[in-house]
Every structure is written in C-alpha cells, then in structure tokens.
C-alpha cells in the first residue's frame, strides 16, 4: 500500500516539546496534539504520554484513520477545516470542536507554518481556552532569517526556497530572496509566489494548492503574543517555539 506524502514520519516532536516547555513527565497529563498527523509524538522511545490520555485533531482524514489503527486506545478526531495544502476543500475558519475536556498540554508542531496569519490568530485563542488551569500551549513557527545549522550559510527561507524550487539562481528566485530580506513575516506559495507582510493571496484552485509555507520573525511574534515566551530551536530543528501558560 502506498503511503501519502502527507503522512508524517517525524518522531522527534516529543523530545522537542519536552525540552521547550521544560517538562518530560507527561504520563498523568491530558495531551492534545493539534495537527498531530498519525500521532508520531507517541512513537518516540522517550515519550511518557499515556495513549489513553492522548487526543489528536487533524485536518487530514487519512492520518486520523491511520493513527486510530496504530493506537486505538487514543482519541482521534478529523477536523474538516480548510488548509491550503492539506485540506483545500475543507471549511474555512471552522471553529474547534468541543472535545469534552480541558488539557494539561496542547502542542502544535508545524501547523501554523502551513496556515495564514488570520488562521493562527483565530486558532491560538481557541486552543488556549481548552487548557486546564496551569496548562501549557506550545506551538512552532519558523523565522525566515534564522540560520539553523552552524556549517550551513542558508537561512530558513533560503533553504525552503531551494527545497521547493531545486534552485535559487534564477531571476525569480533571487528576487524572492531579496524581497524576503526585510520581511517581518511572509508566505511562500508553491515555491513560485512570495507574499510579504500580507495574507492577501491570489486565487488558487484546490488542485493548484501544493505548498504554503509561512514564516514569522521572533520580534513579530512577540507583538502578536505578548503573553508568551519564545524558545530558539533545539536538536537541530528549524522551528522556534512559542510557549503560552495558563494561570493555575
């Protein structure tokens, strides 16, 4: 059986978030993995999550079905919200469902890197409202100007542009690199179109919606989420982390 390229194989989410929030013992905690794909956070050998206390909410129905097969004791929910490349026929701005409980930890790995700014500003308060007293919400973002690898001179944006296009030498690619230099935030669509400091995108038919990568500087994220703390990437990741804690 072929595996969809949208099924994630990354199993480093647990160690990443445990380091970013400063807590490795999640055994007695209710965990919501927002955009959790097939639940790879459970697959990490270091994971202390009890699958019976794990909930996954994802816009990709195939991943929810696959995750349910792997961990039937966990809780899986398909969230039919529009997402440019993962669910282009979903419902725009669909509210989060009521899962019937609050959560001690809510994580979202590489979710708001694939959504626009309006989506992020809509969803983060909804997720925060689902936290239990003393709970923690942590989600990743990618700074376009950050250089994640000491031996590699490429910024996050340059690395992504090269990965999407296979080159950064053409006139179009060089123009996008130039325009990204002073961006507080920007969106790269299909490796072809760059939108700087705006979510006013051209119209793309569902079949044309291949990739959507959103970047934010940490300074800009601080303006959006003044109550949050911000962590640099760990373990060779490209992702920064925004951490928001709810009072006890």
Domain ranges of the chain: 13-142+221-245, 156-216
CATH code for the domain defined by 13-142+221-245: 3.40.50.150
Provide the pLDDT for residue 153: 85
DSSP, residue by residue, 201-226: PPP--GGG---EEEEE-HHHHHHH-T
Query: Distance between CA atoms of 208 and 202, rounded to whole angstroms?
Result: 11
Query: Distance between CA atoms of 215 and 127, rounded to whole angstroms?
Result: 21
Token pair, residue 68, equals 């349910």
Provide the pLDDT for residue 152: 83
Provide the pLDDT for residue 151: 78
3-state helix/strand/coil string of 144-202 = CCCCCCCCCCCCHHHHHHHHHHCCCCCHHHHHHHHHHCCCCEEEEECCCEEEECCCCCC
Provide the pLDDT for residue 5: 54
Query: Distance between CA atoms of 39 and 76, rounded to whole angstroms?
Result: 9
> Which residues of the chain are modeled with pLDDT < 70?
1-9
**CA torsion, ordered 160, 162, 164, 166, to nearest 10 deg:** -160
Q: What is the pLDDT of residues 206-241, one digit of tens each?
A: 999 999 999 999 999 999 999 999 999 999 899 999
């Amino acid at each position: 059986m072929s595996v969809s390229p949208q099924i994630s194989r990354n199993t480093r989410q647990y160690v990443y978030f445990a380091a970013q929030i400063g807590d490795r013992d999640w055994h007695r905690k209710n965990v919501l993995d927002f955009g959790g794909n097939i639940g790879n956070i459970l697959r990490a050998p270091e994971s202390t999550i009890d699958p019976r206390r794990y909930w996954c909410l994802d816009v990709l129905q195939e991943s929810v079905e696959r995750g349910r097969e792997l961990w039937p004791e966990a809780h899986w929910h398909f969230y039919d919200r529009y997402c440019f490349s993962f669910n282009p026929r979903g419902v725009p701005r669909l509210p989060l469902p009521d899962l019937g409980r609050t959560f001690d930890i809510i994580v979202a790995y590489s979710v708001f890197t694939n959504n626009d700014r309006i989506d992020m500003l809509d969803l983060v308060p909804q997720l925060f409202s689902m936290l239990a007293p003393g709970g923690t919400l942590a989600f990743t973002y990618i700074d376009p100007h950050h250089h994640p690898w000491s031996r590699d001179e490429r910024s996050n944006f340059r690395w992504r542009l090269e990965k999407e296009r296979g080159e950064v030498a053409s006139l179009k690619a060089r123009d996008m690199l130039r325009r990204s230099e002073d961006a507080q935030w920007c969106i790269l669509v299909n490796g072809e179109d760059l939108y700087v400091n705006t979510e006013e995108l051209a119209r793309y038919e569902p079949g044309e919606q291949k990739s959507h990568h959103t970047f934010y500087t940490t300074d800009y994220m601080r303006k959006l989420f003044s109550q949050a703390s911000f962590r640099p990437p760990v373990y060779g990741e490209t992702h920064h982390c925004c951490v928001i804690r709810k009072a006890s």
